[in-house]
Amino acid sequence: MSELIHTCYRILDIDRSVDFYERLGFEELSRMAIRDEATNVFMGLPGDGARLELTYNHGREEPYELGGGYGHIAVTADDLDATLENLATQGIEPEKSPYRVREGGSRICFVRDPDGYRIELIERGEG
């Protein structure tokens, strides 16, 4: 059977991006050079493997166009309010306050990484 193994983002600054994802609870699992062209940094949540590949193309200085088709990745939070308080102390603010898409559904909100990619935070448990 097939399984989704990772998502790849192209980034402009390895340290800045790794720092951001570590603040969300990810761990850097490995780095791999792609000849002299690029470096891939593999990140994952504890115990879940390398689900996020951050690709740094050497010499690129211009931001990437995210495109109209890209949406977001989603991660869970046991306590969304506590997660947002912790992120705020590190300079990471949500796009808007947590909300529910439907009555009885989980509370969600979005943050953006340093390159503008959206990350949905979904509170676990309710919906």
Are 72 and 78 spatial neighbours (Cβ–Cβ below 8 Å)? no
Active site residue 120: yes
Return all residues near 111 (Cβ < 8 A) that are at least 6 apart: 24, 87, 92, 93, 94, 95, 118, 119, 121
Token pair 């402009």: residue: 12
Amino acid at 74: A
Return the half-sphere exposure (C-beta side, CA atoms, 13 A cut-off) of residue 126.
16
* Residue among 65, 85, 120, 123 flagged as catalytic: 120
Residues noted as catalytic: 120
